Amino acid sequence: MKRRSLIKSMCATGVAMGMGISLRNSWAAGDTIKVGVLHSLSGTMAISETTLKDTMLMLIEEQNKKGGLLGKQLEAVVVDPASNWPLFAEKTRELLEKDKVSAIFGCWTSVSRKSVLPVVEELNGLLFYPVQFEGEESSRNVFYTGAAPNQQAIPAVDYLMNEGGVKRWVLAGTDYVYPRTTNKILEAYLKAKGVAESDIMINYTPFGHSDWQSIVADIKRFGSEGKKTAVVSTINGDANVPFYRELGNQSISAEDIPVVAFSVGEEELSGIDTKPLVGHLAAWNYFMSEDSAENSEFIKKWHAFIKSDKRVTNDPMEAHYIGFNMWVKAVEKAGSVESDKVIDAIVGIETPNLTGGTSVMLPNHYITKPVLIGEIQEDGQFATVWKTDDLVKGDAWSDYLPEDKNVIADWTDPIKCGHYNTETKVCSGGQNNG
């Protein structure tokens, strides 16, 4: 009897081995579906990214309360790439090869996303990226739930130009791919609108930059030449704190030279004295102050999860909320967490956003979003001063760069390409590393 049992066991093992390694390593072999959470919990970007880790833990907990996904509970696998861009790639490989996560939610800076991208594509993983960025990219394996330039930067400039009468422009950013590419697009856009090159000042500083005295003095001087001037800020991370402090030190008010920021939200404002910032602006697709039933419920759940009614919500949190719910719906539609099946299922998936609308995953793997301009208040919240009437479709390739004017991204049949020239009918990949 023992011999028969042993033979039976050996046969079963042989069958399993014959089915390949995938049986042992696949998510189906485990008790949970693993979800990767890839956000900096230390270093210069921790000020922004730690909250996104907590957001993902909340969303996963909420989904598990609903019964999980495909009959299994979700398990968060949290790693800390520590604001170290090469480490993002290492942690991504670890999540996909060792931990066997079915999807990754993470990154903030574009340099971290660019570091992760080749690993995700090589291993056919899924990355949901929740932060505003420069566009000029579309990958089959990435879903961009943050704003493209036409969903943030371009509308912000239009607002300042049309509503504020701005004639001179300071494009101030942290020195990496997102600010440089966004400002390249904005410079082309401003010149197309008739702005002279002499009325555009561009400045870049390293991550964590703290000495803003001379730069702010230059901005003040540039804005004192008789034309209404504004700062378009792509300054990222904790460098924003001394930047805004120096604006106050040099008595630059929003009435004098307004700043519109693309990377300053409620989370960043919660740690600083906002009095000198009152009246300055930010362009996002969500504000905590937005009045909707969905937003009220989200804030209530957030405060309960984080055990503090003082913690704020912000735009990238909403982007994770949208991306996570789209992934869940795509997995349910596909009946699988297998990457290829989820990719095929996700285009066209709709889910409510937190401003009262419905966002859709587009064929280029961007989503539809409203655009909001908010004015900073003393309590660190934003008062919405302008909002698009409809949701805006994210554009992967800017119409304002000559080389991209005829380029689209479409991951559905028959194109299935991230960089497709509609004139030449040629597909040449999905990203522009230049």
- For the chain, what is the mean pLDDT? 91
Rounded CA gap, 150 and 156, in Å?
9
For residue 394, the 8-state DSSP code is: P
The fold of the 150-290+374-393 domain, in CATH, is Rossmann fold (3.40.50)
Note the pLDDT of residue 241: 85
How many CA atoms are closer than 13 Å to the CA of 317, on its beta-carbon side?
Answer: 28
Whether residue 205 is predicted with pLDDT greater than 50 in this model: the reply is: yes
Note the pLDDT of residue 381: 96
Mean pLDDT for 320-340 is 98
Whether residue 431 is predicted with pLDDT greater than 80 in this model: the reply is: no
Per-residue CA distances from 13 to 19, 122, 305 (Å): 10, 30, 44
Mean pLDDT for 29-48 is 92
Whether residue 336 is predicted with pLDDT greater than 70 in this model: the reply is: yes
CB 165 within 8 A of CB 134: no
Rounded CA gap, 149 and 197, in Å?
21
Confidence of residue 433 (pLDDT cuts 50, 70, 90): very low
Residue type, 89: A
Note the pLDDT of residue 268: 83
Whether residue 107 is predicted with pLDDT greater than 70 in this model: the reply is: yes
Could you read off the pLDDT of 54-78 as tens digits, one per residue?
A: 999 999 999 999 999 999 999 999 9
Note the pLDDT of residue 129: 98
Confidence of residue 14 (pLDDT cuts 50, 70, 90): very low
Whether residue 353 is predicted with pLDDT greater than 90 in this model: the reply is: yes
Confidence of residue 430 (pLDDT cuts 50, 70, 90): low
First-to-last C-alpha distance (Å) of the chain: 69
Rounded CA gap, 394 and 150, in Å?
7
- Range of lowest pLDDT (11-15, 135-139, 387-391): 11-15
Whether residue 399 is predicted with pLDDT greater than 60 in this model: the reply is: yes
Give Dmax (Cα) for the chain: 98
Confidence of residue 232 (pLDDT cuts 50, 70, 90): very high
Whether residue 317 is predicted with pLDDT greater than 50 in this model: the reply is: yes
CATH superfamily of this structure's domain 26-148+294-369: Response regulator (3.40.50.2300)
Could you read off the pLDDT of 355-397 as tens digits, one per residue?
A: 999 999 999 999 999 999 999 999 999 999 999 999 999 999 9
Note the pLDDT of residue 2: 37
- Range of lowest pLDDT (17-31, 184-198, 270-284): 17-31
Domain coordinates in residue numbering, the chain = 26-148+294-369, 150-290+374-393
- Tell me, yes or no, if the two domains 26-148+294-369 and 150-290+374-393 fold the same way: yes
Whether residue 10 is predicted with pLDDT greater than 70 in this model: the reply is: no
Could you read off the pLDDT of 233-292 as tens digits, one per residue?
A: 999 888 888 998 899 899 999 999 999 999 889 988 887 788 878 999 999 999 999 999
Whether residue 156 is predicted with pLDDT greater than 60 in this model: the reply is: yes
Whether residue 9 is predicted with pLDDT greater than 50 in this model: the reply is: no
Please, what sign has the CA dihedral across residues 225, 228, 233, 238? positive
Mean pLDDT for 302-315 is 96
Q: Which residue in 134, 164, 158 sits closest to 146, CA to CA?
A: 134
CB 236 within 8 A of CB 178: yes
Rounded CA gap, 16 and 293, in Å?
50
Whether residue 26 is predicted with pLDDT greater than 70 in this model: the reply is: no
Whether residue 21 is predicted with pLDDT greater than 60 in this model: the reply is: no
Note the pLDDT of residue 238: 84
